[in-house]
Each structure stands twice: as structure tokens, then as C-alpha cells.
Structure 1
Amino acid sequence: MLARSTQRLDIDLLILPETNLILIASVIEPLRGANRISGSEIYRWRLLTVDGDPAPTTSDIPVPACAPFKATADTAPLFVLASYNWRQSATPALKMQLSQATRYRTMIAGIESGTWLLAEASLLDGYSATIHWEDFEDFALAYPYVRASRERFVIDGKRLTTAGSLPTVDLMLEVIRQRQGYSLALEVSRLFSYEQADFHSEHELSPSTVSLRMRDPRVAHAIRLMEDNIEQPLVLARIARRVGISARHLQGLFQESIGAPPHVHYLALRLNAARRKVIETKASFADIAAATGFNSASAFARSYRASFSESPSDTRRRLRRRIMLAQERP
């Protein structure tokens, strides 16, 4: 699931009663955004409930299910979503189904209170896992065989866990980053005007930090300079001087704040700008290369392919085929 791939990834979401709508959206919307930006269906999801009936949510808006959850030989990653009153769903039958599902599923994720259910089914024994900050102490005491963590999300082998809705967005962006690269993950985050927290913050979660931490203002200044200078990229030393620190210091701040060095972030900004021009305009690749700071069309094409696993020409051909197929449908 987390290996670099251009293949479509199918994900099953088991939604328990009284789950927050924002929690469901935190899983689905980044994937929808990745599909939209990439111009292809690289993610597909299926909504399941215990009995196949629509799941009641805390917003009194029922979420329809595609099917009831069953412990079949399906290998798609399984995300277990829960917010409140998870114990009502933790029946012996469901815990047995989850245990049986682990024989086949490539990964199982506990999303917010879904972590409780996985732990109750003994599926987190020997794993590191996180939980909502309000529940941390109780969770750590209840499941001594689980290594309780205060991180926003935890990936430990075939187990994924998150500490809330916004940390779930962090997790989904990390899934996209590992599968399709930093450029697409960055563009998805920008689609929602979302500033991502450090993936591996050591700060404990609390009421004041459960929302996203503000980025270091020097990093924010540097990113604004990058965004304002796409056509003629600035060298790192010049950006650092304008921010008022050394290049080495700026590199460290980037790594701490967004989990990537400056040059990776800058290149992703330029490639994303180029990709939009490839998709939305008929400009030549030479013109697009010049407009996004590449010294030749060939250099642009190499970077584009390395980031998006297809050439600019491939992107345009693929989109033309989609348009033609859509026009042919009755």
C-alpha cells in the first residue's frame, strides 16, 4: 500500500455508528483530490457498515453503505472509522470478523476511535499506536501490550492509527506522498489550503495543539519567496539571506517544519505549476518549461516523468482519451 506505485489503490472504509462526518471526509477527500489533480482514478473507496444499512452519524446525516462488512478474502486495506460510543459496536462477532480479516488485508487502520476497536480485538498487540489526546491515558492503561504514542498518526508495519480528524488528513497525505511522491501530496494539501504539520512531531497532543501547529514564520517567508519566483527560481543561499538566516539553518527548519528539504519543496511547487499548464492549457512544453524555471524542455520532461511517472505528452494523451470516451457515452 505504501510503496511507490501508479496502480489504483482500493480502500474499504468500515464506518461505525456515531462517526463524525469530518472524520469520514478526512479519509476520502484527500484521495478524491489526488484523483482530480492527477486526472486519473488512482484511488477508489468503498463504504461498509456492520449490517449494510446506512450508518447514523453525529450530524444526523446517515452515510449509505455499499455492502455489509464481512471477513472475506479481500486484500484491500481496511480503515475502521469511529468517533463516539465505539463499545456499542465492539461485539464478539465484529471482533472475530476483524481478526479473520487480518489474514488477508494488506493493512488495517484504526481511524480516531477505531484504534480502540482494533486494540479491543487484540490487533494492536506489539504495535505502536496513537489515539485521540483525550483518551491517551485511559488507552495506555487499558492495553499494556500496545505501545501508546502521542504522535498525530502512526504507521507501524501493517497497522495505521490516527489521533483525530486533522491527523487523519496528515495520514492520507503521507499515503499519497509515499505512493505518488511529494509533488502530488503537496498539491492535494494546497487544494484544501491546508498547512501540514510535521509528520513526526514529538510535541504531546493537547487541546491547544490538536489543530495544526503554525509553521515557523521563516519557513513561511521562504515558501512565499519560492511561490513568487517560479519562472526564475532563486538559489537557496539567496532565499536564506532574504529570510535572514543561513542556508544550512533554513534547510534544518524546512526539515523540522514540513518534513522535506527546501529544494524538494521548491521543485514540487514548480512541477505542480507546470502540470496545471500541461492539463489546462495548450502551451508548448518548451514554453511551459521556461515559465516554470527549467532551462530546457528535455530537463523539464525528465523532472516531470520522475515526479509523476509519465511524460507531459502522456498526460495530455491520457486526458484526451478520457474526454473522447466521455463524449462517446450515450
Structure 2
Amino acid sequence: MATASAVEPLRAANHLAGRKLYDISFLSADGGRSKSTAGGEFDTLPMAEADFNFDIVFVVAGGNPMSYEDPELDRYLRRLNGHKVKLGGISGGPAILARRGLMENRRFAVHWQHIEALQELSSDFLVERRLFVIDRDRYTCAGGVAALDMMLAIVASEHGTNFAQAVSDWFIHTRMRMADDPSRSTLAEQLNITHRALMAATDLMASHLADPLSEQQIADLAGLSSRQLQRLFADQIGEPMMQFYRRMRLEKANELLQQSALPITEVAIAAGFSSLSHFSRAFREHFSLTPRQRRVDSRRNMTVVA
């Protein structure tokens, strides 16, 4: 399910576009026919023979990724990382990446079954209980049909939300879900917004916190002019579009400062600020205290139960 949910949206995107937008390859340690637990098979290329000419490489894992060991996989992943290839994980795949030090200072999602084991392994892992998380060069999801939502977010960021919705509709998946954990209301529901383009814009913002989109990029991908989108934000949210976006990123930084041991410089990067001074100034303007003061306060207010 996890593999199919990741691959099928890309196949459908090629079909609906009438041209090859995505070229998909399957890799395995030994190559040849690789069988899934459900009996489906994939023709795979041995990792030892694969090059590094990929935009993204996803690790898909079921079973128990916490005990999985494969020296060939380790070597290949590290070489991909050395070549600056973006890495992704699906279901238990993010756990494999994390155990190999490839999710350092990156937020990530993983199948709920592995969250506690990862947290016991290291308190430094930035695991989030979300459907998917895109943090700069890392793309991770909780597995199952969450892979479909992650791929739709990727398609939306590259080809616009209208096209991504057409892909979603192809699978009778009439509403593209946001990254937030499904037990929570969506951002659109929290804000009580119903306009399709406005929902698309806020979804794009939520999935691009560490690598912020420009105002024009958001408008283009949402299918409206920048002026039309600005008017929608003013009318329905009561806040300028980019101010709303910056507040969303600052609130993520505030969460990381209180719930992780990530260095403040890395928190700034994870929230999409390339300059620590710019981040500190924006954070202080919004929360009336510095990032360092927030971290000190959060530690002072911690309760230890024995």
C-alpha cells in the first residue's frame, strides 16, 4: 500500500499531463524481482549498479525498521547524501534514515508504530505525529495512504494545486489532506476558510516552512494572481498573506524551541530563516521575548515526574 500510494500519483500525473513529468525507478540491494509482503513484484536495479542521478530517493520499509541492517543500503544512502540527492522515507523508511544519522536537525514523520522506539533511541529526533513532513531536502510520511497525500503536495509545489487536485480526483480522493495529524482539524477548518485557492495557499505554506515560497510562487501554484490572493487573505483571514506565512513559521519555531534540543541556529533554518539575527528579531517582535529566553522559560516550566 505504501509503495503503491507513492508511485501511482506520479503515474497518474504523467497520464493526465500527456507527457512524462516523473520517471520512476525501483532499487533493491540485490536487484531483480523484488516481492512485497502482499505478493506484488517490482523489477529492480541493484543499488551497487545505480548512479546518483535522481531528484529524490525514497526508502520504503515495513516490518521492523528499528532492527533492519543492510551494509549495501547504508553505503548507498550515504553516497546519495554526499551527492546532495534529496532523501525520503515512507512508513518505516524514515526510521531507517534516522538511525543512520540522515535526519539530523530535520523534522520528520514516521509510521505511528515506530514513534516510541525512535524517541527511546534518541531524544534528539524531531519526530512529528503528522501525515507527512517536508523539511528542505527530506520528504517523509507515515505510510499507507499518507504517501498519496505527500506526493500530491509535491505535485502541487511543482505543477500547481489545480493539477494536483486533478490527480487526487483521479483516485476518488476528493480532498487533498494536509500534513497535520488526522486526529486534528485541518488548518482550513481552524481558520474557517472555504475558498479553494485560499485553502490551497495555506496548504502550500504548511508544507513549505523550512523552504519558504515567494508570494508569486504561492499565487501561481494556487491558480490566482498575487493581487487576488492578497485580497482573499485580507477578506477571509484578516491578515496580509506573507505576514500570515511568517507567523506560521514563527509558531513552528516556537514549538521547536520548547519541544526539542535543536540549536537555535538550526531552529531558525527549520523555520525558513537564513539569518539568525533576522530570526531573532522577528521572533522577539512576535512573542515579545528572544528565542533564547523562550528556551530557558520552557525548561524552567518543565515538570519531572518520578
Q: What is the TM-score normalised by the length of structure 1?
A: 0.55
SS in structure 1 of the partner of residue 35 of structure 2: coil
The aligned amino acid for 1:69 is M
The match for 1:63 among 21, 42, 51 is 42
Task: Give 2:30's aligned residue.
Answer: 51
Confirm or deny that 1:26 pairs with 2:5. Answer: yes
Q: Deviations along 1:224-260, whole A, 9 cap, x unmatched?
A: xxxxxxxxxxxxxxxxxxxxxxxx8545997399838
Contact 1:152–1:163 (CA under 8 A) maintained in structure 2: yes
Q: Rate the CA distance shift 1:44–1:249 in 2: closer, same or farther, 3 A.
A: closer
Instruction: Give the letter aligned to residue 113 of structure 1.
Output: G
How far apart, CA to CA, are the structure 2 residues paired with 1:159 and 1:143?
19
Q: Deviations over 1:58-95 (max 9, x none)?
A: 11233221x10137443431111111143565223421
Write the distance in 1 (CA, Å) between the matches of 2:112 and 2:129. Answer: 7
CA offset digits 1:162-221 (Å, max 9, x no partner): 00121110110011000000111010000111033542325558xxx9xxx9x97xxxxx
Secondary structure of the residue aligned to 2:75 is helix
Is there any run of 5+ residues in structure 2 with no aligned partner, and where? 205-218, 224-306
What secondary structure, in the 3-state scheme, does the structure 2 residue paired with 1:201 have?
Answer: coil
Give the 3 Å change call, closer, same or farther, for CA 23–190 of structure 1 in structure 2. same
Give the Cα separation in 2 of the matches to 1:141 and 1:252: 41
Query: How far apart are 1:151 and its partner, in Å?
Result: 1.1
1:192 corresponds in structure 2 to: 171
Structure 2 matches for 1:120-135, cutoff 5 A?
120-135=99-114
Q: CA RMSD in A?
A: 3.5
Say yes or no: does 1:259 pair with 2:259. no
Q: Aligned match of 1:94 in 73, 94, 100?
A: 73
Give the distance between the partners of 1:124 and 1:133, measured in 2 at CA.
Answer: 17
Q: Given the superposition, is the C-alpha separation of residues 100 and 144 from structure 1 closer, same or farther in structure 2, using an over 3 Å criterion?
A: farther
Q: Partners in 1 of 2:201 and 2:112 — Cα distance?
A: 21
* Distance in 2 (alpha carbons) for counterparts of 1:145 and 1:204: 25
1:1-330 map, 5 Å: 22-65=1-44, 67-70=45-48, 72-86=51-65, 89-201=68-180, 250-251=194-195, 255=199, 259=203
- For the residues of structure 1 that align with 2:29 and 2:62, how far apart are their CA atoms? 15
SS at match of 2:34: coil
Distance 1:41 1:140 in 2: 40
Distance (Å, rounded) in 1 between the aligned partners of 2:141 and 2:32: 26
Contact 1:78 1:105 survives alignment (8 Å): no
Match of residue 229 from structure 2: none
Contact 2:108 2:139 (C-alpha < 8 Å) held by counterparts: yes
Q: Give 1:300's aligned residue.
A: none
Identity of paired residues, percent? 24
How big is the shift at 1:142?
A: 1.6
Task: Check whether the contact 2:33–2:41 (CA below 8 A) recurs between aligned residues.
Answer: yes
1:256-279: CA deviations, max 9, x gaps?
A: 99838xxx9xx96xxxxxxxxxxx
Contact 2:47 2:72 in 1 (8 A): no
- The match for 2:278 is none
Structure 1 or 2, whichever has the larger Rg, is 1
Cα 1:252/1:40, change in 2 over 3 Å: closer
Q: What 5-or-longer segments of structure 1 have no aligned partner?
A: 1-21, 217-247, 269-330
Judge conservation of contact 2:131–2:181 (CA < 8 Å) in 1: no
